[in-house]
Structure 1
Amino acid sequence: MKSDSWWKSLGYAIEGVIYAVRKERNLRIHIILAVLVLFVALFFKLKSWEYIILAITISLVIAAELFNTAIEYIIDFICKEKCNEVKHIKDVAAGAVLTTAFGAIFVGYFVLFDKIKEYTSFALKRLPDLPSHLAVMSLVITVLLVVILKAIFGKGEPLHGGMPSGHAAVAFSILVSTIYITKNITEIILVFLLAILVSQSRVQLGIHNKKEVIIGGLLGSVTTYLLYNIFLGG
């Protein structure tokens, strides 16, 4: 079924990419992130070799996801029943995508981090010095709001299950306080990653669904942000 026309082969390849993007959520996420990275890169004076490295890295991640998708389609077509061998094949293919994704993060860190740090440091330094106890008060108020909302919805314990996620609320409250107190981009990124991992673990453990975690994160972030701004306004 191989096409004799190079032009038709190109069309089939493009059709395959479009089909995969339409059907696979993870591939759409990779492409959106790639667009964002390239957009952010335009604001910095990158050298030609840095653009080349970014382009190669992005291409590898997307290609790995396409290969993973193709392998999944083949396995699903051949094996109609679930078995451990099929699971292992899919897990290994997904592991290839994960490896390239971590590689992309590593490359992005060294290519863009210093430039992002220089760009954001000035804005962070302009934030006023605030008493650290405001972070504790924000945390306490966030937890109280979580308890009130869980009482209203009638599900879950203060920090276990129900609407909203208390862990996500606390994690993102700490993140906002970190932004105001430390004004250090490295620490902010690390705390942000930790907040994401905390939230993701609640979903993976089946304690919360995505909606409960997202609302919890928004509750903690917005509450803490408003308290800091009220304090500044006073």
Structure 2
Amino acid sequence: MKTKSWWKSLGYAIEGVLDATKTEKNLKIHIIFSVLILFLALFFNLKFLEYIILTITISLVIAAELFNTAIEYLVDALIKEKSEVAKRVKDVSAGAVLITAFGAIFVGYFVLFERIKNALSFNLQKLPNLPHHIAIVSLVITIALVVIIKSLIGRGEPLHGGMPSGHSAVAFSILISVIYLTKDVAVSLLVFLLCVLVAESRVRLKVHSMSEVIMGGLLGSGVTFLIFILIL
């Protein structure tokens, strides 16, 4: 009986994680980034203790997001009408997620940044010096393609909504240009962070879906990368 009960509890726990993942966009983002970080760590010969620190940090972020989701469900079930108390409870639980996320960023920085910087700097310095106007040309072509694709698909307006996200395409086009023109890892990572924030804001404002933002990022980065490759 105990074994059966344990298996049932495990099943309920897995169902809870899956349900939260389906309904909470932030949790999906945390999980995607967690998988990417762990995959990236495989290439940098981390020490055993560093793997433990990364794993615990990632677990804390995901657990905090799950607690936040559970609290939101509970508050919505108990308090049907609009309430200042309910808002404060949700804000505080969201704040807990924010603190763990910032902590995870610092841990990732201390564990991985120097390794990533050294690996990328070696390759970036091999790139030849290129004229800066290529970035402008790439940006213009990216915007033109966004407008053309939107008109063909017939979703959204040329500068608002639809497939693909123009903001995301422009942001990631600029990212590729910055990588090629500055050859600076730190600057490139900061611009990448800004690109992620731009893309995330479009989803949060419900102007675009996640797929539209991803396609925009792929379009902008792909077109710009192709142009720089052809110039090289």
TM-score bucket (shorter structure): 0.7 to 0.9
- The normalised TM-score by structure 2 is 0.81
CA change 1:17–1:33 in 2 (3 A) is farther
2:30 equivalent in structure 1:
30
Q: Which residue of 1 aligns with 2:13?
A: 17
- Comparing 220-229 and 162-171, the one that deviates more: 162-171
RMSD value over aligned CA atoms?
Answer: 2.8
C-alpha spacing 1:18/1:162, structure 2 compared with 1 (3 Å): closer
Tell me: CA distance 1:73–1:160, structure 2 relative to 1, closer, same or farther (3 Å): closer
In structure 1, how many angstroms separate the alpha carbons of the residues matched to 2:78 and 2:224?
A: 53
Structure 1 unmatched runs, 5+? none
Give the corresponding residue for 1:56. Answer: 56
**Can you give the 5+ residue segments of structure 2 that lack an aligned partner in the other structure?**
none
Structure-to-structure mapping, 1:60-139, within 5 angstroms: 60-79=60-79, 81-84=80-83, 85-139=85-139
Higher Cα Rg, which structure:
1
Matches of 2:149 and 2:206, distance apart in 1: 20
Is residue 213 of structure 1 aligned with residue 213 of structure 2? Answer: yes
Q: Does 1:228 align with 2:228?
A: yes
Count of aligned positions: 226
1:123-155 Cα deviation digits (max 9, x unpaired): 222223222111111112222223333444374
Range that drifts further, 52-61 or 187-196: 52-61
Task: Say whether the 8 Å CA contact 1:169–1:219 is kept in structure 2.
Answer: yes
Opposite residue 82 of structure 2, the aligned amino acid is: C
Equivalents in 2 of 1:40, 1:77: separation in Å? Answer: 40
Rounded to whole Å, the distance in 2 between the matches of 1:138 and 1:62 is: 38
Change (3 A) 1:111 1:9: farther
CA deviation string 1:190-212 (max 9, x = no partner): 11111122223333334444444
Shift of 1:31: 4.1
SS at match of 2:46: coil
Relative to the length of structure 1, the TM-score reads 0.80
Q: CA deviation at 1:119?
A: 1.9
Distance 2:213 2:109 in 1: 27
Q: 1:31 to 1:186 in 2, by over 3 A?
A: same
| Deviations, residues 175-225 of structure 1 (Å, cap 9, x unaligned) | 111121222221111111111222233333344444443332222112111
- Shift of residue 28, structure 1, vs aligned partner: 5.2
Residue pair 1:202, 1:208 contacting (<8 A) in 2 also: yes
Match of 2:191 in 1: 191
The aligned amino acid for 1:83 is K
Change in CA separation of 1:69 and 1:216 when aligned onto 2, cut-off 3 Å: closer
Question: Using the alignment, how far apart are the partners of 2:119 and 2:9 within structure 1?
Answer: 40
CA gap 1:145/1:44 in 2 versus in 1, 3 angstroms: closer
